[in-house]
Each structure stands twice: as C-alpha cells, then as structure tokens.
Amino acid sequence: MTAMHNPPHPGEVLREWLEGVTVTDAAARLGVTRVALSRVLNGAAGISPDMDLRLAKALNTTPGTWYAMQGNFDMWQAQRRFRAKVRPITATEAA
C-alpha cells in the first residue's frame, strides 16, 4: 500500500459525509456525546475502533474504513516528525 501524501484527518472527510446533519443529531444517532463527535470533526480527537464501528453501521461503510483513514493520517504525521536515531538489529547481535 502506498502512502498518501498529506492525508486529511478523517474528521474532515466525516464532516463532508454529515453535510446537512447537525452535530447533535449525528451524535445522538451514533450513540456518542456531541462533544466527542465535535472533537473528531474538528481534528482534536481520532477515530477509535469503537467509533469506526459506529460510523460503519450508521453510514453503511465497511468496518475498518474510518480506522484505516486515522492510521494513514497518524502515520503520515509521525513520519513528518520522526527524528530518532535508530540502529539496525540483527539476529546475531541480539543473541
């Protein structure tokens, strides 16, 4: 799988899916608080496995889709910031 260049936070994508639906109504339908959904939509919180399953059921998407988007976003962000000095580990050295 190739990495997407600067993938959007899944909350941005979700905001488009929910166009025309209030945050309050969407949160009630998902069974989460308005604050929890608002944090996801504004990029202040990520998609958890539980939220992924709720979204999949409510929006008729495949389970794992939203969580994978979050993973892609998180990995891209981590790669941008990664500065650790790491040395290779070989089996003969580890023994």
Report residue 79 CA to chain centroid gap.
16
CB atoms closer than 10 angstroms to residue 47: 24
Task: Give the DSSP letter string of 34-95.
Answer: HHHHHHHHTTSS---HHHHHHHHHHHT--TTHHHHHHHHHHHHHHHHH---------HHHH-
pTM of the model: 0.85
pLDDT of residue 38: 98
User: Could you read off the pLDDT of 57-95 as tens digits, one per residue?
Assistant: 999 999 999 999 999 999 999 999 999 999 999 988 655
Domain layout of the chain by residue ranges: 10-94
Pairwise CA distance, residues 44 & 62, whole Å: 24
Residue 33 DSSP label: -
CATH code at 10-94: 1.10.260.40
pLDDT at 3 over 80: no
pLDDT of residue 2: 55
Q: What is the mean pLDDT of residues 5-12?
A: 94
User: Could you read off the pLDDT of 15-45 as tens digits, one per residue?
Assistant: 999 999 999 999 999 999 999 999 999 999 9
Report residue 65 CA to chain centroid gap.
9
5: confidence class by pLDDT, cuts 50, 70, 90:
confident
